[in-house]
Chains A and B, each alone.
Chain A
Amino acid sequence: MSKPLTFYIGTAVYYVICVVLAVIFAGPFVWMVSSSLKPPNEIFSNPPILISPNFSLDNYFEVFRQAPFERYMFNSFFVATTVTVVALLLHSMAGYALARLEFPGKRVLFILIISTLMIPFYTILIPLALLVRELGWINTYWALIIPAIPHAFGIFWLRQFFLGLPQELEDAARIDGASRIGVFFYVALPLAKPVLAALAVFFFLANWDSFLWPLVATNRPEMRMVQVGIQSFTGEHGNAWQLIMAASVIAILPTLLLFFGLQRFIVESVKMTGLKG
């Protein structure tokens, strides 16, 4: 039988396709890092060089000299972290209330919350900008943080999780004299850790990557978030690709670390977005 032969051909084809796709999707990362380490005259060298013999970290120092990238990074860190922490707390509270507590109007509130998922961001962009201007929040962290917190998606997923908690766990705590609020903080919330971790990754990434809203809500350089920082840096250094690539590496470093460190949670959070309750 010639089965082994076709099997080996099949496997070879399989791996060739896999490797080609891997080069397409991961290759650019390598090229980006490689370019960020090159002197300017080697950026477009012909033929292309992967590892320059003159390789150095100069571009990275130069980026920080030419633009306040440490400030951009801080802004993004501060905003993304604050949004994530506050959002997770508020969403778990709301999700818990919708799942485990009985009160009049609950169904209506749930439907109202879920229907906000349909609102696309660009539709509310203009009124939101006007509102933030009215509140005097332009060029403040308030403008970057507060509107990013409400998010029906997080409420929905935490509700789904709390719905699945066994009643006995709560009852036991209630008999020990815990109040409803106590049960939430000491019993329900600690059990939600896996969901919270996946949502945390989702919120952090979304806010780290956000561009259009920070572009609209800020115009002072010191309030720029990192994506806006990258964009404006490109505008000012049109041809200095070695610097732009160094800046880009700086901008994706935290998310890349998150990606490799917490990949399980990232996959979980993507699956969560993909599975409709």
Chain B
Amino acid sequence: MTEIELSAAEQTVKAAERGRARNGNRDRREQALVGYLFILPDLLGLLIFLVGPMLMAFVISFTDWRLTGVPEFVGLRNYEIIFKDPKFGASLGRTILYTIGFVPTVYCLSLGMAVLLTRRARGNFFFRTLYFMPIAMSMVVAGVMWRFMLDPGNGLVNQLLRAVGLPGFQWLGNVQSAMASVILVSVWKSAGYFMIILLAGIQDIPQDYIEAAEIDGASRWQIFWRIILPLLKPTSFFVLVILMINALQAFDQIYVMTGGGPAQSTYTLLMYIYEKAFREWNFGYAAAMSTFLFGMILVLTLIQVRYFRSGEVKQ
């Protein structure tokens, strides 16, 4: 940069400062006006379509409200029913079962794939693309497609099993295995997504740490447990929270693959809420159940926050 250009730039900055001082008051008013104007549409949207309904759900949960009727205030009665309703307990149990099956499996698999892809090898990019492909498929299509491939007769999966001498299997048609099958399909759909997040987290770890450990003679195994995993804690925390929230809200794949069956073995809480609200039109009770589930997620998230923040010196 030449001297003339430099001084020109300086003058521009000075002029800007002078201008700002002179027009301070007018500018402040303009900023406020434009600021409110810019924020207003989104703010209204959030208030009307998110915050409002959230508060409304809470209010509705204290009423008896059917499709055609007028909401009638019933106090805590819906919440009392929750604790006596065996169907609620059973479907909540299945939601928890789904979560316990889903969260660790996705986390371990996607972490494993992320670590696998950090190896400097030819074809990494290609493999990453393939693992990541299920993101291009909706849960609905994934569910439909897997239902086809898990067909108990001559579905592709059973044919492949028989080809290696194993018996075919009633994946979705069996009370014992339907939930596991639904979980596996959800894992298939989600693993690539979380792999990308964890991969980004691993790549953010300063390479010096790993090189220093290598020089000190640490094995790959030790590097993973002693360096990568501890330094990945913030990303892991985020991934686990998101996974848990996703798991407790799983709906599309279950609706499409089993509809809650067989013998209600995959009938989760969200299926029950959906049915109560939009099949039986019992809004009050459905709202109470969803408020309960929200409270549960909130508590679980806070527990996770505490667990992960302990011993962590960050920001």
Residues of A within 8 A of B (CB): 11, 14-15, 17-18, 21-22, 24-26, 28-29, 31-32, 35, 44-48, 90-91, 93-94, 96-98, 101-104, 106, 109, 112-113, 116, 118-131, 146-147, 149-150, 152, 155, 168, 171-172, 174-175, 179-181, 184, 205, 208-209, 211-212, 216, 227, 230-231, 234, 241, 244-245, 248, 251-252, 255-256, 258-259, 263, 266-267, 270-271, 273-276
Does B222 belong to the interface (CB within 8 Å)?
Answer: no
Known pairs A119-B50, A155-B42, A255-B136; A25 contacts B192 (CB<8 A): yes
Report which of A90, A113, A124, A259 forms a contact with B54, defined as CB distance below 8 A: A124
Docked-complex contact A44 and B155, CB < 8 angstroms: yes
Counting chain A CB atoms within 10 Å of each CB, the highest count among B48, B136, B287 belongs to B136
* A115–chain B nearest beta-carbon distance, Å: 9
Closest to B220 in A: A10
Known pairs A128-B49, A174-B19, A211-B252; A31 contacts B133 (CB<8 A): no
Closest to B284 in A: A126
Does B180 belong to the interface (CB within 8 Å)?
Answer: no
* Cβ < 8 Å to A, chain B residues 245-302: 245, 248-249, 251-252, 255-256, 270, 273-274, 277-278, 283, 286-287, 290-291, 293-294, 297-298
Docked-complex contact B197 and A273, CB < 8 angstroms: yes
Docked-complex contact A150 and B256, CB < 8 angstroms: no
Measured between beta carbons, the chain B residues less than 8 angstroms from A208 are 138
Counting chain A CB atoms within 10 Å of each CB, the highest count among B16, B53, B249 belongs to B53
Complex CA–CA separation, A191 to B140 (angstroms): 36
Known pairs A101-B34, A103-B32; A24 contacts B188 (CB<8 A): yes
Does B35 belong to the interface (CB within 8 Å)?
Answer: yes
| 10 interchain residue pairs of minimum CB distance | A274-B197, A150-B45, A209-B138, A127-B53, A44-B154, A124-B53, A127-B56, A259-B136, A97-B38, A103-B35
Instruction: State the main secondary structure of chain A at its contact with B.
Output: helix
Complex CA–CA separation, A241 to B149 (angstroms): 10
Does B111 belong to the interface (CB within 8 Å)?
Answer: no
Measured between beta carbons, the chain A residues less than 8 angstroms from B239 are 274
Complex CA–CA separation, A104 to B32 (angstroms): 7
Docked-complex contact B140 and A28, CB < 8 angstroms: no
Does B121 belong to the interface (CB within 8 Å)?
Answer: yes
Docked-complex contact A147 and B49, CB < 8 angstroms: yes
Does B81 belong to the interface (CB within 8 Å)?
Answer: no
Complex CA–CA separation, A22 to B188 (angstroms): 11
Report which of B30, B163, B245, B297 forms a contact with A47, defined as CB distance below 8 A: B163
Binding-face segment, B86-94, B97-105, B123-131, B223-231: B123-131
Docked-complex contact A14 and B34, CB < 8 angstroms: no
Docked-complex contact B127 and A21, CB < 8 angstroms: yes
Docked-complex contact A31 and B156, CB < 8 angstroms: yes
Counting chain A CB atoms within 10 Å of each CB, the highest count among B137, B159, B193, B294 belongs to B137
Known pairs A14-B119, A252-B138; A234 contacts B13 (CB<8 A): no
Docked-complex contact B290 and A122, CB < 8 angstroms: yes
Known pairs A22-B127, A127-B60; A231 contacts B256 (CB<8 A): yes
| Residue contacts A-B, CB under 8 angstroms, 12 given | A44-B154, A48-B154, A102-B32, A113-B46, A124-B56, A126-B57, A149-B49, A175-B19, A184-B38, A211-B252, A227-B138, A251-B138
Measured between beta carbons, the chain A residues less than 8 angstroms from B133 are 25-26, 29, 259
Docked-complex contact B200 and A93, CB < 8 angstroms: no
Docked-complex contact A126 and B45, CB < 8 angstroms: no
* A264–chain B nearest beta-carbon distance, Å: 11
* B127–chain A nearest beta-carbon distance, Å: 5
* A71–chain B nearest beta-carbon distance, Å: 17
* B103–chain A nearest beta-carbon distance, Å: 16
Docked-complex contact A211 and B13, CB < 8 angstroms: no
Known pairs A102-B31, A116-B51, A245-B148; A90 contacts B41 (CB<8 A): yes
Complex CA–CA separation, A77 to B252 (angstroms): 20
Docked-complex contact B290 and A25, CB < 8 angstroms: no
Docked-complex contact B34 and A120, CB < 8 angstroms: no
Docked-complex contact A130 and B31, CB < 8 angstroms: no
Report which of A146, A147, A149, A231 forms a contact with B140, defined as CB distance below 8 A: A231
Measured between beta carbons, the chain A residues less than 8 angstroms from B31 are 101-103, 180
Does B173 belong to the interface (CB within 8 Å)?
Answer: no
Q: Mark B198-227, 1 if CB is under 8 A from A, else 0.
A: 101100000000000000000000000000
* B174–chain A nearest beta-carbon distance, Å: 19
Report which of B57, B141, B153 forms a contact with A123, defined as CB distance below 8 A: B57
Measured between beta carbons, the chain B residues less than 8 angstroms from A35 are 148
Does B304 belong to the interface (CB within 8 Å)?
Answer: no
Complex CA–CA separation, A44 to B162 (angstroms): 14
* A87–chain B nearest beta-carbon distance, Å: 9
* A246–chain B nearest beta-carbon distance, Å: 12
Measured between beta carbons, the chain A residues less than 8 angstroms from B147 are 234
Does B144 belong to the interface (CB within 8 Å)?
Answer: yes
Measured between beta carbons, the chain A residues less than 8 angstroms from B123 are 15, 18
Complex CA–CA separation, A180 to B37 (angstroms): 11
Closest to B203 in A: A271
Complex CA–CA separation, A126 to B282 (angstroms): 10
Does B177 belong to the interface (CB within 8 Å)?
Answer: no
Does B15 belong to the interface (CB within 8 Å)?
Answer: yes
* A267–chain B nearest beta-carbon distance, Å: 6
Docked-complex contact A120 and B294, CB < 8 angstroms: yes
